[in-house]
Structure formats: C-alpha cells, structure tokens
Amino acid sequence: LMLISPKLFYMLVGFSTCYFIVSILCFAAPLMRLERRILAVEADLRYLLMRLRENAESIAFFGGADFERQGCSTCLDKVIWVHYKKIAVQSLLQVLGTLIGFVAHFMPLLIVAPMYFHGETTFGTISQSQALFQ
C-alpha cells in the first residue's frame, strides 16, 4: 500500500486509528456499564421472585399480592429498559461500522483515481488499492 501511494497508507492508518478510538470511547465504555447494570437489575428481579415464591403463603394470607405485583412490575420494567438501552447502543455501533465500511470502500477511489487520470499509475492500481482496504 505504501508503494501505491503514501497518502493512501497514511489515510488508512489515520482512519483506522480514529475508528478504533471512537468505538472504544463512545461505545465500549457505555456497553460495559450497561452490561453491569443488566446483571444488577436481573439479579434484583431474581431475588424479588425468589422472595415472592418463598413467602407466597404469607403474602396471600395478609393480602399483599397487589403490593408484590407492583414491585415485580417495577423491577421487570427496569430490566426491559436497560435491555432497550443496550440494544440502542449496539445498534448505533452497528450503524457506525456499516458507515465506516462504505467510506472505506470509496476512500481508495478518491485518492488513487486522480493519480490514474494524471497518468501516475495504471488502472489495475485502483483495484489493488481497493482490495487492500477490504
């Protein structure tokens, strides 16, 4: 790639570095926080359901079913919303990856095609540079 065009090589290195930094800073840290949050709220839900199962007779005797239902519903809502947040962040990461793929497909064309029209390279160099970007 360096033999085809040093500019193309440095663009690839810069492009890859920027993508790596953005994906780590903007997506990896939030996804890890969401994973820990998912584990916590799912553990809370499991604890609540086990406590409900163990004390079902007392809850039924004292008429606490509505209170327990409300608590379980609130906890389940938290679990669902945390999963929605994780799906949203993963979707944004997927969109960014797809966008980067499209940009990486056309970047060699934008750099090597003008070199071809100026007579500095051959036509096969354009295909070679695109193959190297894949």
Residue pair 54/23 in contact by the 8 Å Cβ criterion: no
Please report which confidence band the pLDDT of residue 32 belongs to, taking 50, 70 and 90 as the band edges: very high
pLDDT score at 76: 95
Residue pair 31/88 in contact by the 8 Å Cβ criterion: no
pLDDT tens, position by position, 79-119: 999 999 999 999 999 999 899 888 888 888 888 888 888 88
Residue pair 1/107 in contact by the 8 Å Cβ criterion: no
47-66: buried (b, 16+ CB within 10 Å) or exposed (e) per residue? ebeeebeeeeeebeeeeeee
What value does the mean pLDDT of the chain take?
Answer: 89
How many Cβ atoms from other residues are within 10 Å of residue 43's Cβ?
10
**Res 46 pLDDT > 90:** yes
Residues composing the chain: 134
Please report which confidence band the pLDDT of residue 1 belongs to, taking 50, 70 and 90 as the band edges: low
Which two structure tokens, joined as six digits, stand for 17? 């570095």
Q: In the predicted model, what is the mean pLDDT of residues 73-78?
A: 95
Name the DSSP letter for residue 121: S
pLDDT score at 126: 83
Residue pair 4/124 in contact by the 8 Å Cβ criterion: no
